[in-house]
């Protein structure tokens, strides 16, 4: 490392958690004041106890403010010590699956705030080779068959979500794509708390960089789960005229809420109800801090928000937790997070195929034999082996 190269800051959980707990403390204090204010307000309407109630209220407010301030001060000291310990124990080795998964979860909920504050904990967008913990160096990749398959994870996950437990007997889609079709498999890691459109733009730029670093690359296959499918599809909309789009053959979306998630819509309604009352408004303020990525799931990317390139084959797979995927219950609850109508984006368009499975939950779509069989069928259609 030259004297001009500055080492990148180590990701630290302490500052982000401290800031989050600090804000929660303020909102709890506001709710405490709202509850107490209603109580003392009622007492001050009674002539006999009005003056004593006012005095007690002033004492209560002073004591309450002091207690909450002490809590915040204690938190600052505690997390400062935690941050020092974290930095002391940090090594130059890349994070393993457990730490990476924790960072992914934090990014899913607060990732836009972390990025806005320049926190090292904010996840950068990177591609990873199978089984590697360090980001891929794009111009050093070995792509013998000139084909790559890129897997995109969903909200609050990372690339490790695609790999089943060793003794589970569940299919590993990445290993199967490589074994059956010869694709070089890459996994995208990204900050799922950022707006979907921002991640899509960054992904399009990354694909452009990949093609520039690998001029012999001939084919790109994209497989996205949940939010990952939305990001890939939105990137297709933004990639008109780009070399990477001309090399992209197919996008397969697994449980992607193309038309939005009812769970986030319920969250928006709940937020409005919380904001309607003084006592619960502080809780609503905390709920509003959820990331832009989560809020984007309210509407998904919409059926008419962009133009799907006709040269790219689109494949949408939906699921329901009900065994009968066509039942009223199946259509209502979907896979637990995404309804079939949203996952399948029911509108006729060229070059789109859809499939639906019953008895399957949202996260179970990552390692399921029936899902792999459908994915395999789609990839095999029109597949031309490399000579």
pLDDT score for 251: 97
**For residue 69, how far is the Cα from the chain centroid?**
34
pLDDT score for 301: 84
Secondary structure in 3-state letters for the chain:
CCCCCCCCCCCCHHHHHHHHHHHHHHHHHHHHHHHHHHHHHHHCCCCCCHHHHHHHHHHHHHHHHHHHHHHHHHHHHHHHHHHHHHHHHCCCCCCCHHHHHHHHHHHHHHHHHHHHCCCCCCCCCEEEECCCCCCCCHHHCCCCCCEEEEEECCCCCCHHHHCCCCCCCCCCHHHHHHHHHCCEEEEEECCCCCCHHHHHHHHHHHHHHHHHHCCCCCEEEEEEECHHHHHHHHHHHHCCCCHHHHHEEEEEEECCCCCCCHHHHHHHHHHHHHHCCCCCHHHHHHHCCCCHHHHHCCCCCCCCCCCCCCCCEEEEEEECCCCCCCCHHHHHHCCCCCCHHHHHCCCCCCCEEEEEECCCCCHHHHCCHHHHHHHHHHHHCCCCCCC
Contact 368, 358 (CB under 8 A): no
- Residue 324 tokens read as 């009968």
Within 13 Å and on the Cβ side, how many CA atoms surround 223? 24
Give CA–CA dist 131/135, Å, rounded: 11
pLDDT score for 373: 98
End-to-end CA distance of the chain: 43
Angle at 79 between CA 73 and CA 80, to 5 degrees: 90
pLDDT score for 306: 80
pLDDT score for 211: 97
- Which tens digit of pLDDT belongs to each residue from 319-365? 999 998 888 888 888 888 898 999 998 665 668 999 999 999 999 99
Give residue for tokens 């197919």. Answer: 250
Give CA–CA dist 332/138, Å, rounded: 43
Cα–Cα distances (Å) from 71 to 24, 84, 284, 322, in that order, read: 11, 20, 22, 47
Contact 136, 126 (CB under 8 A): yes
Contact 193, 291 (CB under 8 A): yes
Give CA–CA dist 188/161, Å, rounded: 11
pLDDT score for 215: 96
Cβ neighbours, 10 Å, residue 131: 10
Domain 126-264+289-380 falls in which CATH fold?
Rossmann fold (3.40.50)
Domain boundaries in the chain?
A: 13-90, 126-264+289-380
For residue 150, with 0-12 CB atoms within 10 Å meaning exposed, 13-18 middle and 19 or more buried, which class applies? buried
Give residue for tokens 């457990």. Answer: 98
Give CA–CA dist 146/75, Å, rounded: 53
Cβ-based neighbours of 270, under 8 Å, separated by 6 or more: 287
pLDDT score for 269: 43
- Using the CB atoms, write b or e for 232-265: b if 16+ within 10 Å: bbbbbbebeebebbebbbbbbbbbbbbbbbbbbe
Nearest one of 153, 100, 193, 233 to 162, comparing CA atoms:
153
Give CA–CA dist 26/338, Å, rounded: 34
pLDDT score for 164: 94
pLDDT score for 153: 97
Global pTM? 0.76
pLDDT score for 41: 56
Regions of the chain short of the pLDDT cut 50: 1-4, 24-25, 27-29, 31-32, 35-36, 39-40, 43, 53, 57, 59-60, 63-86, 88-89, 264-271, 273-275, 277, 279-287
């Amino acid at each position: 490392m030259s004297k001009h190269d500055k080492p990148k800051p180590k990701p630290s959980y302490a500052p982000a958690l401290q800031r989050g707990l600090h804000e929660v403390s303020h909102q709890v204090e506001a709710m405490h004041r709202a509850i107490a204010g209603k109580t003392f307000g009622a007492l001050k309407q009674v002539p006999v106890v009005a003056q004593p109630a006012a005095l007690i209220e002033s004492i209560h407010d002073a004591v309450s403010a002091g207690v909450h301030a002490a809590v915040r001060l204690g938190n600052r000291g505690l997390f400062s010590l935690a941050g020092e310990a974290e930095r002391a124990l940090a090594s130059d080795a890349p994070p393993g699956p457990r730490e990476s998964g924790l960072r992914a979860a934090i990014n899913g909920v607060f990732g836009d705030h972390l990025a806005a504050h320049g926190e090292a904990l904010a996840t950068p967008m990177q591609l990873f080779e199978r089984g590697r913990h360090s980001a891929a160096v794009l111009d050093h990749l070995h792509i013998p068959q000139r084909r790559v398959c890129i897997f995109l994870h969903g909200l609050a996950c990372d690339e490790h979500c695609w790999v089943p437990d060793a003794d589970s007997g569940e299919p590993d889609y990445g290993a199967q794509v490589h074994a059956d079709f010869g694709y070089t498999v890459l996994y995208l890691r990204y900050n799922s708390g950022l707006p979907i459109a921002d991640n899509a733009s960054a992904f399009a730029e990354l694909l452009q960089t990949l093609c520039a670093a690998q001029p012999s690359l001939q084919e790109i296959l994209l497989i996205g789960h949940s939010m990952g499918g939305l990001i890939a599809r939105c990137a297709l909309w933004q990639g008109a005229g780009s070399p990477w789009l001309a090399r992209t053959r197919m996008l397969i979306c697994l449980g992607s809420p193309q038309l939005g998630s009812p769970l986030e819509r319920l969250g928006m309604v709940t937020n409005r109800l919380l904001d309607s009352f003084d006592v619960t408004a502080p809780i609503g303020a905390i709920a509003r801090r959820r990331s832009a990525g989560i809020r984007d799931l309210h509407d998904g990317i919409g059926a008419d928000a962009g133009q799907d390139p006709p040269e790219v084959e689109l494949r949408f797979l939906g699921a329901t937790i009900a065994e009968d995927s066509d039942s009223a219950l199946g259509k209502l609850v979907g896979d637990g997070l995404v309804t079939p109508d949203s996952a399948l984006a029911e509108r006729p368009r060229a070059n789109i195929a859809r499939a639906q499975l019953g008895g399957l939950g949202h996260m179970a779509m990552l390692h399921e034999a029936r899902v792999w069989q459908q994915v395999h069928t789609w990839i095999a259609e029109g597949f031309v082996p490399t000579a």
